[in-house]
Amino acid sequence: MQNTINCKGTLIDFETPKVMGILNITPDSFFDGGKYKNEKEILNQVTKMLADGATFIDVGAYSSRPGAKHITQEEELCRIVTVVKLLIGHFPSILISVDTFRSKVVEACVRAGACIVNDISGGDLDEKMFETIAKLKVPYIVMHMQGNPQTMQQAPTYKNIVTEVFYELSKKVQKLNNLHVHDVIIDVGFGFGKTVAHNFELLKNLDYFQEMNLPVLTGVSRKSMLYKPLGVAPNKALNATTVANTIALQKGTQILRVHDVKEAVEAIKIFNLSQK
């Protein structure tokens, strides 16, 4: 198992699972869209997430919720690069992940100080993504998605979701390895072209993905797979998120991507105690 990744020359060890805090600077994200509209709100939120124990901050400027409005590359760049520079200026040692599927956005953000790329499309929406990652030599989160954010929830279909997702991710990992990209993290893509039943089948079999011998990121925070079965809104799904995160930890996940850092860090602490 690859237990480390290299971020700006620092080895991040996954012997203990890590937390990635979500910073959406979009007006229409499903849970926190429009919350962080100015520098003060952004800095206050990131200060809180870092104090609560986040190892990474994942900055996204393109809403990927089902049916979200498509925005241009220029608008995404305008939103995100300024924020990356702002965070680097205030928190010099911060480890910023950029949530984008566009290689030009990746290049601009890495130049501004970001050090990880989180691509919801796993390279499918930009043919230059993999070669860009290889050139920049940054860790890459390769996620599985069926379709795109505008179409992905229009009747997603699989014969065997676990083996199909595994196969698609393993093909991409091989392509990345052929380009000498070895700091790869895999994400099965909960909620991206999957029904609620598909999502829970993946969660139940998340340990199967340890066979790739790569760190696994799990992103289920406040998603519809949790709040829809309970008949509640996303803002009432924190408890369900903690339960799902705990299951993911039991299945071997190394990174929890969350809106609520404090609760995820606490889940990891209690999980670690249970393993001693």
State residue 156's pLDDT score: 82
Q: Region of 129 please: left (phi>0), alpha (psi -120 to 50) or beta.
A: alpha
Q: Which CATH architecture has domain 16-265?
A: Alpha-Beta Barrel (3.20)
Please report the pLDDT score of residue 37 as a whole number.
Answer: 75
| CA separation, residue 59 to residues 86, 95, 102 (Å) | 12, 11, 14
pLDDT at residue 63, rounded to an integer: 75
Structure tokens of 71?
A: 């925005």
Joined together, the tokens standing for residue 131 give 């070669």
The pLDDT of residue 35 is 64
How would you write the pLDDT of the chain (276 residues) with one tens digit per residue? Answer: 889 999 989 999 999 999 999 998 876 444 444 566 788 989 999 999 999 999 999 999 887 666 667 889 999 998 899 999 999 999 999 999 999 999 999 999 999 999 999 999 999 999 999 999 999 999 999 999 987 665 656 778 899 999 999 999 999 999 999 999 999 999 999 999 999 999 999 999 999 999 999 999 999 999 999 999 999 999 999 999 999 999 999 999 999 999 999 999 999 999 999 998
Backbone phi and psi for residue 210, each to the nearest 5 degrees, phi listed first: -65, -20
Q: Which residues are catalytic?
A: 223, 257
Residue 16's CB is within 10 A of a number of other CB atoms, namely 11
For residue 276, the model assigns a pLDDT of 83
| Residue in the structure block whose two tokens are 């992940």 | 97
Distance CA 240, CA 128 (A): 37
CA distance 5 to 146: 27
Stated pTM of the model: 0.94
